[in-house]
Amino acid sequence: MTSEGANGTGGVVYLVGCGPGDRGLVTERAVELVASADAILYDRLVPRSLLALAPPQCELVYVGKLPGRPTLPQEEINAELVARGRAGQRVVRLKGGDPFVFGRGGEEAEALAAAGVPFEVVPGVTAGIAAPAYAGIPVTHRAEASAVAFVTAHEDPRKGESALDWRALARFPGTLVFYMGVSRLAAVSERLRAEGRSPDEPCAVVADGTRATQRTVTGTLATIAERVVAAGLQPPAVLVVGAVCALRDRLAWAERRPLHGAVVVVTRARPQQSALARRLRALGAEVVEAPAIRIRPLPTPPELATIERFGLVCLTSPNGARLLVDGLLAQGRDARALARTQIAAIGPGTAAALAERGLRADIVAERFVAEGLVEALSDVEVADRDVLIARAAEARDTLVEALAARGARVTVAPLYETVHEPLPDYARDDLERATYITFTASSTVRSFLAGGGTVPQGARVVSIGPITTAALREAGIAVDVEASRHDIDGLVEALVADARARRAVA
């Protein structure tokens, strides 16, 4: 039943799988639905960065469960979905893994169908495949296992007896993957051995699969329960039984990435977060997106209408570079207006933003600070020249004063302003788990604190450069790592170097 509006109200419910935790495993369809939702009911393992894509007016409702402690009974979740669908809302039910693989999505779909509420199912990557893969364990392999069986270790307690055929499972000619098996690990391994499965068969338990906090314990069917207890592994986790587990030593990859185990908070403005977040995730980090500021474009400055008269245009941020070109286009003009103008960019990031809009910077400062651009312009003749500085409404006047002192006629064109962005509740919760928190500008420091953010105990503070470091110290926050190159590349390099150094002495 997928015909939207079939109930006469326009309401529809989407049962969406989000995978087991890695934001990169979320489907495009899931992202599309979140961005247009009226209400989102989400589980514990849903990537918080996905929730950040919801519209401002969207209602976020947590309905997740902790082991043994349901936040909201399943029957009430079903009723909530039905009520909201009948009320005409576009409801997105975000579920970890796949809705129809031990996710109780079938029960929710049955309730919606019985109530006549239109719904759509969006499959997700299930933990039984993804967690072993991230641990370097292929659940099937031509030489080791031509079949795989997925089993839940927790059946419906209302059933009179187990529906599992343990003898058949013990004799299954392939890989067994048990979901929700940590609390019953000893009982599962004992039952399989009692039914004839070899006690020497390789096993692995993967906890927090696909996330930066993923941990894997290996052993045999006879030893795995004891080893997992000794390692202190906690749910969510899957148990893998089979010869394929022996491949982990050669194929493990995710846990060997340089930022594996790191939870990194990114405080950049939301449009700039994505590129940094993708890079950090690719290096193995779990990224908490906690935007401290929002970029608000200002009306196009009148100076852009006569930009040809400026012999030099200075751009002090990627945001300014993009908005300058956008402002020209809004006036029906394009890059030809800058044909006789020198363009100076404050760093490689700003130069790259210009290149995205089809412009090449003539001068690029190596350091991503105003002083760096002052140095880069030291050999450029500016006396008696009209110079335009396109920047944020509030910024240091270092560049303005330095060029004016050399005889330039300086005009400042404010293109945007930064606005405080209060931290969402889900970001506050994730902050407490942070191992690193990054700041890319002094404005992010002020706005992060103004929005109620605090640096959690034990988290290491990473600064993009000396200006940001000064703002942090002024706020009473100690800086653990400062990038030697004052751009995003430098910040990532500094963070990775620190993580490797700490791992080496651990």
Q: How many CA atoms lie within 13 A of 250 on its CB side?
A: 5
Q: What residues contact 457, with CB distance under 8 A and at least 6 apart? A: none
Give the rounded distance of the alpha carbon of 249 from its chain centre. 28
Radius of gyration, alpha carbons of the chain: 27
Tell me whether strands 386-392 and 409-420 are parallel, antiparallel or unpaired: parallel
Which residue in 22, 38, 180, 386 is the catalytic one?
180
d(CA 105, CA 121): 9
Determine which one of 38, 43, 386, 430 is catalytic: 43
| CA gap 257, 417 in Å, rounded | 37
**Residue at 215: amino acid letter:** R
Cα separation, 145 vs 141, in Å, equals: 5
Three-state secondary structure call for residue 67: coil
Give the position of tokens 């491949």.
247
Give first-to-last CA distance, the chain, whole Å. Answer: 54
Identified catalytic residue from 65, 480, 489, 498: 65
Active site residue 159: no
Q: Tell me how far the alpha carbon of residue 326 is from its chain's centroid.
A: 28
Calpha distance 380→398 (Å, rounded)? 17
- The answer for residues whose C-beta is within 8 angstroms of residue 48's C-beta and 6 or more apart is 288, 289, 426, 427, 430
* Peptide bond before residue 67 is cis, with ω within 30 degrees of 0: no
DSSP state of 399: H
Contacts of 153 (CB under 8 A, 6+ apart): 178, 179, 180, 181, 183, 184, 185, 188, 239
Q: Give the Å distances, CA to CA, from 376 to 151, 181, 186, 326, 346.
A: 63, 61, 66, 26, 9
Alpha helices in 239-360 (DSSP H): 248-251, 270-282, 318-330, 348-356
DSSP strand E in 134-266: where? Answer: 148-152, 175-179, 202-207, 215-220, 237-241, 263-266
- Amino acid identity of residue 219, one-letter, is G
Measured in degrees and rounded to the nearest 5, phi and psi for residue 126 equal -85, 150
Q: Which residues are catalytic?
A: 43, 65, 180
